[in-house]
C-alpha cells in the first residue's frame, strides 16, 4: 500500500546542494522532507568526491614524504622505504566519510528535517513516489527543490566495469595499480593520477586537448605539467583513447599513430553530466538549458515553486556552489528577498602543486588594455621556502581594473594555495580595490603574503622583489 505524505518543502538529493538547503529550511521553520537514494547523506561530494579524494591525496602526500626521506631526504631526515596497505588507507578514508555522514544526519535531525531513504520518481511537478525499503511513499509538496547532482560520463567504447573504472572505484581500490592510465586530464583525473603516482603507480595520462587542465590558463598549469614531467608521468596530449582489452588501452596519438598503453586499471575521468534521467524529470514540465535544468538568478525553474540547485543546474559543478544555492532557495521559500548572484565562485585543483582561480583570468581579459596584471612568485616568500613550497614555480596573480583598481580576478598555483582561495573570493565579493589588499597587514610568515605583494606590485611598489 502506498503511504501519502504532504510537506511544505520536498528536496530530492542529499548532496551539498540538497542537504544544505534542508538544514536551512529547517532552521527557518519550514516543514521539510529530504529524499535521497544514494549511498549516504552528503551525496557525491562527501561519499565519492571531494572528501574521499582529498583524504587519499593526503595519504599519498604522506607516503611521498616518507619515500623522499628514504631516498636520501632533503631536510636531514632519513627513513626506511615506506610500504602501503591501501585497504587500510581506504578504511581510514571510509571512517572519515562515515563520521561526516553521521554529522550531516545529526544536523538534519536538529533542524527537524525528515529524511527518507529511497529513489524518487516524479509523476508531476509537485508529486513524487519514493520507493523505500518499507514500501512506496507518495509525497506532495508546495515547493520542490531538485538537487539530483551529476554522474560520471561513460565513453561508449570504454564502458565502466572490470578494470575500467570511474573516480568512485579509484577511491576504493584495495591495492595500488602497477600501471594506471588516466583518460581525461581535467581536475579529477589529475588529482587522482598524481595521488597514485605518489603512491608508486606508473601513471600515463591521455588527454584530447593540447594541454592538461585545459580550463585553466597555461601559466597556472605549467607547474603541474612540470611536476608530472619530473615524476615520470607519461603525458599523451592531443590523443584519443580507444578500447581496452588484455591489459592494453588503444590510443591514437596526436600524429594519428595507433599506440597501445599497458594498464592494470584505466581510470576514465572525461567529465560529469547532470543527473536528469530516470526520475521523471520529463513529467515536471521544467525547461532545460542544454543538458542542465534551466534556472534564473533565484534558482527558480520555469515551473512555479520548483527550484533547482547544484550540479543539475550547470557549471561550475562544485560543491560550494550548490550549497550556496541551497541556502538562497531555502531563504526565498521562507519569504526572504534573495538572489544567487555571486561575484566569484573560486575553483581549486588539488593537484601538485595546487591551483586556485577566482574571478577573471588572463584569457577573460585578453586584448583588454584597461586592466593591470601582476604576479608575485612564492620563491620570494619566506614561508614558502620554509615549508618546501617555494621551488615549484608557484605564484599569486592579481588582475585589476586600471582605472579604479578594483580587483577582477586572483589566481594562484603552489603548494597549499587552496587555503588562500577564500581570501581571494572574499576580496572579489566585497569589491575590494588593490589598495584594500595592499593596506591589509598580512601575517608574516604566511603564503598569503604573496597576495599582498602581488597587489603592491600592481600598484608599482612591491617590497620583496
Active site (catalytic) residues: 444
Q: Mark residues 324-353: x for contact with ligand FAD by CB under 6 A, - for none.
A: --------------------------x---
Is 167 or 423 the residue whose CB approaches ligand FAD more closely?
167
Q: Could you tell me the smallest distance in angstroms from the CB atom of residue 57 to ligand FAD?
A: 9
User: Is residue 56 a contact residue for ligand FAD (CB under 6 A)?
Assistant: no
Q: Could you tell me the smallest distance in angstroms from the CB atom of residue 215 to ligand FAD?
A: 14
Is there a contact between 395 and 453 (Cβ–Cβ < 8 Å)? Answer: no
The answer to whether 73 is annotated as binding is no
Q: Could you tell me the smallest distance in angstroms from the CB atom of residue 316 to ligand FAD?
A: 8
The answer to whether 187 is annotated as binding is yes
User: Is residue 127 a contact residue for ligand FAD (CB under 6 A)?
Assistant: no
> How does strand 202-207 pair with strand 234-237?
parallel
Q: Could you tell me the smallest distance in angstroms from the CB atom of residue 146 to ligand FAD?
A: 9
Q: Could you tell me the smallest distance in angstroms from the CB atom of residue 184 to ligand FAD?
A: 12
Q: Could you tell me the smallest distance in angstroms from the CB atom of residue 352 to ligand FAD?
A: 14
| Cell representation of residue 266 | 584505466
The candidate with the shortest Cα–Cα distance to 307, out of 52, 14, 17, is: 17
The answer to whether 184 is annotated as binding is yes
Kindly tell me which residue out of 7, 32, 44, 374 binds ligand FAD, with binding defined by CB under 6 A. 44
CA pair distance 221, 412, nearest whole angstrom: 10
The answer to whether 133 is annotated as binding is no
Is 21 or 332 the residue whose CB approaches ligand FAD more closely?
21
The answer to whether 359 is annotated as binding is no
User: Is residue 186 a contact residue for ligand FAD (CB under 6 A)?
Assistant: no
CA pair distance 151, 148, nearest whole angstrom: 10
User: Is residue 180 a contact residue for ligand FAD (CB under 6 A)?
Assistant: no
Q: Determine phi and psi for 417, rounding to 5 degrees.
A: -70, -15
User: Is residue 22 a contact residue for ligand FAD (CB under 6 A)?
Assistant: no
Is there a contact between 144 and 305 (Cβ–Cβ < 8 Å)? Answer: yes
Kindly tell me which residue out of 23, 25, 34, 43 binds ligand FAD, with binding defined by CB under 6 A. 43
CA pair distance 343, 359, nearest whole angstrom: 7
Is there a contact between 180 and 265 (Cβ–Cβ < 8 Å)? Answer: yes
Which residues 269-328 are close enough to bind ligand FAD by CB under 6 A? 275, 279, 310-312, 317-320, 322
Distances from the Cα of 432 to the Cαs of 115, 201, 256, in angstroms?
41, 45, 49
By the 10 Å C-beta count (0-12 exposed, 13-18 middle, 19+ buried), 367 is classed as exposed
Is 16 or 458 the residue whose CB approaches ligand FAD more closely?
16
The candidate with the shortest Cα–Cα distance to 173, out of 133, 149, 153, 200, is: 200
Collapsing DSSP states into helix, strand and coil, what is residue 123?
A: strand
Count of beta carbons in the 10 Å neighbourhood of residue 373: 17
By the 10 Å C-beta count (0-12 exposed, 13-18 middle, 19+ buried), 345 is classed as middle
Q: Could you tell me the smallest distance in angstroms from the CB atom of residue 13 to ligand FAD?
A: 3
CA pair distance 411, 19, nearest whole angstrom: 30
User: Is residue 49 a contact residue for ligand FAD (CB under 6 A)?
Assistant: yes
Instruction: Report DSSP letters for 395-431, one per residue.
Output: EEEEEEETTT-BEEEEEEEETTGGGGHHHHHHHHHTT
Collapsing DSSP states into helix, strand and coil, what is residue 64?
A: helix
User: Is residue 38 a contact residue for ligand FAD (CB under 6 A)?
Assistant: yes
- Part in contact with ligand FAD (CB under 6 A); list of ranges 43-51, 233-241, 335-343, 428-436: 43-51
Which residues fall in the annotated binding site for NAD(+)? 184-191, 207, 271
Which residues fall in the annotated binding site? 54, 148-150, 184-191, 207, 271, 311, 317-320
Binding residues vs ligand FAD (CB under 6 A): 12-18, 35-38, 43-45, 49-50, 53, 119-120, 147-150, 167, 188, 275, 279, 310-312, 317-320, 322, 350
Which residues fall in the annotated binding site for FAD? 54, 148-150, 311, 317-320
Amino acid at each position: 500500500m502506498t503511504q501519502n505524505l504532504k510537506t511544505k518543502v520536498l528536496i530530492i538529493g542529499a548532496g551539498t546542494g540538497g542537504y544544505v538547503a534542508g538544514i536551512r529550511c529547517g532552521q527557518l521553520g519550514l516543514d521539510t522532507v529530504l529524499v535521497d537514494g544514494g549511498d549516504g547523506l552528503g551525496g557525491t561530494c562527501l561519499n565519492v568526491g571531494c572528501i574521499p579524494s582529498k583524504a587519499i591525496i593526503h595519504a599519498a602526500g604522506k607516503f611521498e614524504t616518507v619515500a623522499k626521506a628514504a631516498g636520501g631526504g632533503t631536510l636531514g631526515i632519513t627513513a626506511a622505504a615506506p610500504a602501503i596497505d591501501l585497504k587500510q588507507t581506504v578504511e581510514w578514508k571510509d571512517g572519515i566519510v562515515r563520521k561526516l555522514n553521521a554529522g550531516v544526519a545529526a544536523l538534519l535531525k536538529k533542524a527537524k528535517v525528515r529524511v527518507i531513504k529511497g529513489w524518487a520518481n516524479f509523476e508531476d511537478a509537485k508529486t513524487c513516489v519514493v520507493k523505500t525499503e518499507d514500501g512506496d511513499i507518495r509525497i506532495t509538496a508546495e515547493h520542490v527543490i531538485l538537487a539530483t547532482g551529476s554522474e560520471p560520463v561513460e565513453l561508449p567504447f570504454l564502458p565502466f566495469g572490470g578494470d575500467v573504472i570511474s573516480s568512485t572505484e579509484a577511491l576504493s581500490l584495495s591495492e595500488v595499480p602497477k600501471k594506471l592510465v588516466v583518460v581525461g586530464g581535467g581536475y579529477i583525473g589529475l588529482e587522482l593520477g598524481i595521488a597514485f603516482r605518489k603512491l608508486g603507480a606508473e601513471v600515463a595520462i591521455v588527454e584530447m586537448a593540447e594541454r592538461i587542465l585545459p580550463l585553466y590558463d597555461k601559466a597556472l598549469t605549467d607547474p603541474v605539467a612540470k611536476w608530472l614531467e619530473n615524476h615520470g608521468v607519461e603525458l599523451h596530449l592531443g590523443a584519443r583513447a580507444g578500447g581496452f582489452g588484455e591489459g592494453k588501452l588503444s590510443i591514437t596519438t596526436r600524429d594519428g599513430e595507433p599506440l597501445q598503453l599497458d594498464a592494470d586499471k584505466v581510470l576514465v575521468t572525461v567529465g560529469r553530466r547532470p543527473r536528469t534521467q530516470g526520475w521523471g524529470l520529463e513529467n515536471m514540465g521544467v525547461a532545460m538549458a542544454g543538458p542542465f535544468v534551466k534556472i534564473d538568478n533565484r534558482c527558480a525553474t520555469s515551473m512555479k515553486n520548483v527550484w533547482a540547485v547544484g550540479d543539475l543546474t550547470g557549471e561550475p559543478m562544485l560543491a560550494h556552489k550548490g550549497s550556496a544555492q541551497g541556502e538562497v532557495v531555502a531563504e526565498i521559500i521562507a519569504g526572504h528577498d534573495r538572489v544567487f548572484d555571486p561575484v566569484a565562485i573560486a575553483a581549486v585543483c588539488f593537484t601538485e602543486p595546487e591551483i586556485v582561480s577566482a574571478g577573471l583570468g588572463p584569457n577573460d581579459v585578453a586584448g583588454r588594455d584597461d586592466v593591470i596584471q601582476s604576479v608575485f612568485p612564492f620563491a620570494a616568500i619566506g614561508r614558502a621556502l620554509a615549508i618546501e613550497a617555494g621551488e615549484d614555480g608557484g605564484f599569486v596573480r592579481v588582475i585589476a581594473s586600471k582605472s579604479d583598481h578594483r580587483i577582477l580576478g586572483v589566481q594562484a598555483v603552489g603548494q597549499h594555495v587552496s587555503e588562500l582561495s577564500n581570501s581571494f573570493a572574499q576580496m572579489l565579493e566585497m569589491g575590494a580595490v588593490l589598495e584594500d589588499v595592499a593596506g591589509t597587514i598580512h601575517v608574516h610568515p604566511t603564503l598569503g603574503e604573496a597576495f599582498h605583494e602581488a597587489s603592491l606590485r600592481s600598484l608599482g611598489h612591491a617590497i620583496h622583489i
